[in-house]
Amino acid sequence: MSFTIQNVLIPDDQGYKTVDVQIQADRITAIAPNLPVIGTVIDGSHQLLLPGFVNAHTHSSEMWQRGIIPPSPLELWIAELYEFTPLDPEQAYLSAVGTAVETLMTGGTSVVDHLVLIPGQELETIAAAERGYRDVGIRAFIAPLIQDEELSAGIPTGGDEVKHSSYQATTEAMLDLLQTAVEKFHRPDEGVEIMVAPTGIQLCSDALFAGCIELSDRYNLNRHAHLLETKAQKLLAQEKYGCSAVQHLQEIGFLSPKTSLAHCVWLDDRDIEIMAETRSTVVHNPLSNLRLGSGIAPILKYRQAGVNVSFGCDGSASNDSQDLLEAIKMGSILHNVTDFDYLHWITPRQAVEMASRGGAIGLNRADQFGSLEVGKKADLVLYNLKSLSLLPRTDPIGLLILGRPVSVISHAWVNGKQVISDHEICNVSVNDLAGKLFEQSEWNPKRKSAAVAQTEARYRSVMGLPEIAIEQSST
């Protein structure tokens, strides 16, 4: 498909300029005023064209639990999450479609899905998510979430002797599963890639990390993991390794330019230096970090140290949304309270750069997409500047990032293929999706979690919190 976007506004060093943009097949072929028409004409008048953003960390299957898990720290939240994980690949398909739709409608053209796998149906889960992303047409990086240690191992012992049961699958089985997933689903030329994605140091052995590194090198796969999301994980790293988690990951060779790490809340200055030296990427998930009380990641320090930073929504049970513009806004202005020097604060233009090019850098794909340049992939989003939430006319990017944009995307393309047209998703019926999500769920505001009750006392003890009465913990 070829098309020409005429008279569209794009940002430049002086502010904005009006140009035409030519696209042939999957690439931008020209950007200049008054270009000859190639293919279909798209009227870009009173619209802003930006490269698509990257939703650089999420868990699609959590959509089935959004809005229901009460305020609690990660270590208790995840116990409840796993207790009620969906067990049907069709649910994995629908939640991938929902994640893709919400990401597209808020400016994202790529998604990194740290995909929680259904036990015993791991490949079916991956296949369902892959089918969902293909059906919508978003660029997908599927990162099957693997571990080889039980959930209880993710909480520090505090010096106590704690025995953990064996995980349901061996390290070798997890790595075999991942290799099979690569062979079946890794299709970069078709917009679907598999990543190696151990969940994090809290639930993974060094042998699992080593196997992931080997697969990453053999198949040229990107690497992804959680890193120091909570204070408890920082304490756990010291127990396990006698050093910081960042130092340990550097020593075993996991950090690299093709490594992205979600959260990174509890890093110290030396950790930040290591992240910069290894050219690893931090994926900032501000909303889930606040929702779970994990803390505020030192994003301004990362940027000053030269660490690449991108944005993620995180899963819909720890953020309860896949609104990427909301995550970018919060991830920008949140840090104004962490540094009194306002010259360090993130501007709207810098936020756009982080969300697009920063996301592409984190996926080792900045040579392919993430910026408006001739030769880059046509992953593009067109914002209607006559939308009420982008008025009155001031600064288009300022309105987009600092405001509360609603239904402002008129058109979007991934790999040169249209995925949004006239404010509507092209390839799937949003009404049908909503109907299926409604039919396959039920109102359940008073759900009780046995797993949280079993974990809570130990967590509070390790974290130095006072004991709670039995009647209080059961309410």
pLDDT tens by residue, 378-392: 999 999 999 999 999
pLDDT tens by residue, 295-311: 999 999 999 999 999 99
Q: Where are the domains of the chain?
A: 2-50+372-435, 52-362
CATH 3.40.190.10 fits 52-362, yes or no: no
- Please report which helix (H) or strand (E) contains residue 451, including its range: helix 450-462
Q: How far is CA 40 from the centre of its chain?
A: 33
**pLDDT for the residue 158:** 77
Question: Residue 471: pLDDT above 70?
Answer: no
| One fold for 2-50+372-435 and 52-362 | no
**pLDDT for the residue 455:** 86
Beta pairing class for 108-115 and 53-58: parallel
Whole-angstrom distance, CA of residue 126 vs CA of residue 123: 5
Whole-angstrom distance, CA of residue 310 vs CA of residue 304: 14
**pLDDT for the residue 475:** 44
Question: Residue 117: pLDDT above 80?
Answer: yes
Local confidence band at 162 (pLDDT 50, 70, 90 cut-offs) = low
What residues contact 300, with CB distance under 8 A and at least 6 apart? 335, 338, 339, 344, 345, 346
Question: Residue 100: pLDDT above 60?
Answer: yes
Compute CA distances 424 → 42, 104, 139, 410, whole Å: 15, 10, 18, 8
DSSP character string of 186-216:
-BGGGTEEE-B-B--TTT--HHHHHHHHHHH
The whole-model pTM stands at: 0.95
**pLDDT for the residue 66:** 94
pLDDT tens by residue, 24-59: 999 999 999 999 999 999 999 999 999 999 999 999
What topology does CATH give the domain 2-50+372-435?
Answer: Urease, subunit C; domain 1 (2.30.40)
**What six digits make up the tokens of 357?**
């090019």
Local confidence band at 394 (pLDDT 50, 70, 90 cut-offs) = very high
**pLDDT for the residue 67:** 94
**What six digits make up the tokens of 249?**
């990951």
pLDDT tens by residue, 168-201: 899 999 999 999 999 999 999 999 999 999 999 9
Query: Exposed, middle or buried: residue 218 (CB in 10 Å: 0-12, 13-18, 19+)?
Result: exposed
pLDDT tens by residue, 338-381: 999 999 999 999 999 999 999 999 999 999 999 999 999 999 99
pLDDT tens by residue, 268-280: 999 999 999 999 9
